[in-house]
A and B are shown apart, each in its own frame.
Chain A
């Protein structure tokens, strides 16, 4: 009797490219990053071993903790709100617009909502920075023209609103992604369940809540997982919009790490931030995957 390994042995060769790429690009870099985090290094010359000093500093660094707080705020803006809104909009497009206005209209809407995903981030940054500009920006101009001067704020220029303004932009970017995945999920659902519920007199909302959503758990959990990870390691939007400012108002771990890597040239310190971020992300991702398995989503 041949073992399972013998049966599948021939296929292991197919894993070689992937394993090699992972080991060199991810594994090697990660190990090197951990090594650097125990050193003081300016990016050139010889790294100097300083043990846990970087981590000791990290624990006491107020900005580091603030940056993590912001990362969790970004989970709201990049994961939870876009998923919730995406679910509602996807249902509207799939159940209502496609049925009443035809496929062409629904496809057009789907593509339009996806456009923010394919625009290069620096372009998005310039676009939003201009729209949010306090005196000449289109958002404040509209608000003033409809008499809402009180709400024409200095969006990115003050600590109290910068995070909110960035969050709105992130929701705009992320929503296309959640909608596309959720609509594709809806199209695989069994229409008979929906029809049966309809015959039993369930309203649209009841069918959405009791029939559609539970069947969409696999898609919802994939969307939540990928966007949560993206939120925790968010860098680009902060880099192009605010550089973490004003003050530390929009500082996030990835930007904080980059700042120390490249600007202050405290490479070891930047590496320790990156290491902690990677650890938290790994733990969180494993936790989410376990949770999904428990829900019977991944089979």
Chain B
């Protein structure tokens, strides 16, 4: 039996021809306008995403000759396949990109990013070194070298707390780890969940590191993150081991929900927002969500007691080497760094790096920028746990969940530390 008869073939041919015809007309029609592709992955409910969207609107208005195309990407997507995308013809003109050796560092080493130093001079960005270090890479290592990306906001991990529950139990904001544990014991005795924790997701990654850096110093950070000085042996490191043990101690004391290793961060945060728990450790990217979703109680923020705080300048804006509109891309970055949009970001509840303090009036902004200011002032930002080695994030995640379910600290140290030691640059 013939599968397709003659008439069928003719119809098929017409359909295919029509397909070619329409697609070619669609592609050629707006050719008068040049495409300008902008990507980021700060969601539109975050202050950063909102501010950039408004800045892009102004940029669009100033450049009617451009066909500005914006795409909202995901952190995971850019974290996993970012280098491959930047290396392809699909690379955008300007994009948000993750800082760190495994991402921006690698891309800069591969020649995928444009050196922004000339633009920094042209527009007089005058970035302080504590900000520019996140965009500077030398042979793929963060901290010094050419400027490949510019952060425009800050972010940090701190403790969100339920002021009502604290007041009801006469608990003050803890200033030492001992007070922190005493507070959790009080809440536990009062029948309140002391700490929300999404053990199935990224909170395991952040919380272990938050505990580790709470007793680390900048020398340790330089060594662990920037590979300067004596190498950290992550299979035996005292700070990491203490952090893993402490997390387990808290779990065994019943300070988390039961079955914590199966709870997703979204669920954990939703429970805190519903007023069911005294605290949750979370990043400043949750500020917007807390502001809109917490309605039955008032909440505050404090830094986890200890020396250092998980945090840094935020993600970078970079110009891929494949961008065909580098000058325009730099113009957009300049717009984002301008006082106007830095102040806008501050009032939207974000953490601007270059805003005028007096022009920010939003109480939610003050709530989040005050602890951040404290951390910045004492030079206590400890960066993020997954930066040093590519792929470390997934390993920390999978083994963090396993740590909470199995309680095996040695296995955690062996798996995560082995991966770190194996992946760090060889001297």
Question: Across the interface, do A247 and B262 meet the contact criterion of CB distance under 8 Å?
Answer: no
Question: Across the interface, do B199 and A44 meet the contact criterion of CB distance under 8 Å?
Answer: no
Question: Across the interface, do B391 and A259 meet the contact criterion of CB distance under 8 Å?
Answer: yes
Interface 1/0 per residue, A256-292 and B, CB below 8 Å: 0001101111100000000000000000000000000
A154 surroundings in chain B (CB, below 8 A): 259, 261-262, 405
B257 surroundings in chain A (CB, below 8 A): 135
Q: Which of A43, A133, A136, A243 contacts B394 (CB 8 A)?
A: A243
Question: Across the interface, do A157 and B261 meet the contact criterion of CB distance under 8 Å?
Answer: yes
Question: Across the interface, do A43 and B87 meet the contact criterion of CB distance under 8 Å?
Answer: yes
A185 surroundings in chain B (CB, below 8 A): none
> Does any Cβ of A come within 8 Å of B260's Cβ?
yes
B404 surroundings in chain A (CB, below 8 A): 157
A263 surroundings in chain B (CB, below 8 A): 79-80, 390-391, 393-394
With contact pairs A43-B84, A259-B391 given, residues A134 and B258 touching in the complex (Cβ less than 8 Å): yes
> Does any Cβ of A come within 8 Å of B38's Cβ?
no
With contact pairs A134-B263, A157-B260, A244-B398 given, residues A43 and B83 touching in the complex (Cβ less than 8 Å): yes
A262 surroundings in chain B (CB, below 8 A): 80-81, 84
Bound-state CA distance A129–B198 (Å) is 13
Question: Across the interface, do A133 and B262 meet the contact criterion of CB distance under 8 Å?
Answer: yes
Distance (whole angstroms) from the CB of B241 to the closest CB of chain A: 18
With contact pairs A157-B261, A159-B405 given, residues A247 and B390 touching in the complex (Cβ less than 8 Å): no
B406 surroundings in chain A (CB, below 8 A): 158-159, 246-247
Question: Across the interface, do A157 and B106 meet the contact criterion of CB distance under 8 Å?
Answer: no
A225 surroundings in chain B (CB, below 8 A): none
The chain A residue sitting closest to B77, CB to CB, is A262
Q: Which of B83, B102, B260 contacts A44 (CB 8 A)?
A: B83
Question: Across the interface, do B399 and A134 meet the contact criterion of CB distance under 8 Å?
Answer: no
The chain B residue sitting closest to A155, CB to CB, is B262
Q: Which of A129, A135, A245 contacts B401 (CB 8 A)?
A: A245
Inter-chain contact total with CB atoms closer than 8 Å: 109
Q: Which of B80, B86, B258 contacts A135 (CB 8 A)?
A: B258
Number of interface residues of A (CB under 8 A): 30
The chain A residue sitting closest to B270, CB to CB, is A136
> Does any Cβ of B come within 8 Å of A45's Cβ?
yes
Question: Across the interface, do B390 and A157 meet the contact criterion of CB distance under 8 Å?
Answer: no
B397 surroundings in chain A (CB, below 8 A): 243, 245
Distance (whole angstroms) from the CB of A48 to the closest CB of chain B: 13
Task: Determine the interface band of chain B, counting residues with CB < 8 A from chain A.
Answer: 35 or more
The chain B residue sitting closest to A263, CB to CB, is B391
The chain B residue sitting closest to A46, CB to CB, is B110
> Does any Cβ of B come within 8 Å of A73's Cβ?
no
The chain B residue sitting closest to A156, CB to CB, is B262
Interface 1/0 per residue, A126-139 and B, CB below 8 Å: 00010011111000
> Does any Cβ of A come within 8 Å of B423's Cβ?
yes
Q: Which of B173-223 contact A (CB under 8 A)?
A: 199-200
The chain A residue sitting closest to B80, CB to CB, is A262
Bound-state CA distance A246–B393 (Å) is 13
> Does any Cβ of B come within 8 Å of A141's Cβ?
no
Q: Which of B95-153 contact A (CB under 8 A)?
A: 102, 106-107, 109-112
Q: Which of A213-259 contact B (CB under 8 A)?
A: 243-249, 259
Distance (whole angstroms) from the CB of A116 to the closest CB of chain B: 22
A157 surroundings in chain B (CB, below 8 A): 199-200, 259-263, 401, 404-405
Q: Which of A155-169 contact B (CB under 8 A)?
A: 155-159
A264 surroundings in chain B (CB, below 8 A): 389-391, 423
B110 surroundings in chain A (CB, below 8 A): 42-45
Question: Across the interface, do B106 and A245 meet the contact criterion of CB distance under 8 Å?
Answer: no
Q: Which of B145-177 contact A (CB under 8 A)?
A: none
With contact pairs A157-B200, A157-B260, A262-B81 given, residues A42 and B106 touching in the complex (Cβ less than 8 Å): yes
Residues on A close to B: CB < 8 A? Answer: 42-45, 129, 132-136, 154-159, 243-249, 259-260, 262-266
Residues on B close to A: CB < 8 A? Answer: 79-81, 83-84, 86-87, 102, 106-107, 109-112, 199-200, 257-264, 267, 389-391, 393-394, 397-399, 401-402, 404-406, 411, 415, 423
